[in-house]
Amino acid sequence: MTEPTASSRLMWMLQITHRVEDMIIAVLLTATMGLALYQIVLRNVMGTGIVWGDILIRLMVLWLGMAGAMAATRQKKHISVDLVTRFLSPGWRLVSEGLTTFFAGSVCFTAFYFCLQFVKSEYEAGGLAFGQVPYWVCASILPLAFLIIALRYVIQFALILARRLKATP
């Protein structure tokens, strides 16, 4: 039996995180749907409703959106304009991909830093979003998502560099 290489171990770890992410999305979507249905039934049949239900559902949509955005980064499915790359030669396409990935990663790291500042200041302020749930917990998805998105761009950038190095020995 051969010793697993560092890169194969890394790939394995990445795949585990992808699985976990997919599961989180499925569970979140199902839970949001369940809660929203429950609210509709309560409202229309019983004439009541959970007071903080609507706020929670809206927050879950934010979390779902950010989780989806993380997954979109890994599948390179973010909305982009992309007018010229299809007319470039493979070599230039790689250069352009490298540039834009580096740019995207830097922007997301900056966003991560300032979202973290925002969460920190909310933590210190100690406000509550609903019930006993503090505001900063709800907002923590923002730095988390930007961090993961930024890291994914770093990985993609590294892969592009590796391909570039392989192409020019």
Partner 1 sequence: MTATILVILLILFAILGAPLFTILLAVAMVGFYSQGIDLSAVAIEIYRIADMPLLLALPFFAFAGYVVGHSRTSERLVRLTQVFLGWMPGGLAIVSLVACALFTAFTGASGVTIVALGALLYPALMQDGYRERFSLGLVTSSGSLGLLFPPSVPLIIYGVVAQQMGVGRVFTIEDLFWAGLLPGLLMLVLLSGWSLWTNRRMARTRKPFSIRDALAAVRAAIWEIPLPIFLIVGIYSGYLAISEAAVITAAYVVVVEVFVYREISFHQLPAIMRESMVMVGGILLILGVSLAFTNYLIDAEVPMRLFTLIQRLVSDKIIFLVLLNLLLLMLGAILDIFSALVIMVPLILPVAVSYGVDPVHLGIIFLANMQIGYFTPPVGMNLFIASFRFEKPVAELYRATIPFMVVLLVAVLVITYWPRLSLFFL
What's the rounded Cα separation, in Å, for the pair 126 and 136? 8
Place of tokens 């930024």: 150
- Answer for which of 49, 53, 68, 134 binds partner 1 (CB under 8 A) is 68
- Can residue 36 be called a binding residue for partner 1 (CB under 8 A)? yes
- Can residue 33 be called a binding residue for partner 1 (CB under 8 A)? yes
What character string, x for contact with partner 1 (CB under 8 A) and - otherwise, covers 85-124?
x----------xx-xx--xx--xx-xx--xx-xxx-x---
Kindly provide the b/e burial profile for residues 65-98, where b requires at least 16 CB atoms within 10 angstroms of the residue's own CB.
Answer: ebbbebbebbeeeeeeeeeeeeeeeeeeebeebb
Quick one: 4 or 91, whose CB is closer to partner 1? 91
Quick one: 8 or 117, whose CB is closer to partner 1? 117
In the complex, the smallest distance separating the C-beta of residue 137 from partner 1, rounded to whole angstroms, is 12
- Can residue 147 be called a binding residue for partner 1 (CB under 8 A)? no
What's the rounded Cα separation, in Å, for the pair 145 and 86? 30
What's the rounded Cα separation, in Å, for the pair 154 and 109? 10
DSSP 3: P
Closest CA to 144 of 122, 121, 111: 111
Q: Which chain residues interact with partner 1 by CB under 8 A?
A: 22-23, 25-26, 29-30, 32-33, 36-37, 40, 54-55, 57-59, 61-62, 64-73, 75, 77-85, 96-97, 99-100, 103-104, 107-108, 110-111, 114-115, 117-119, 121, 138-139, 142-143
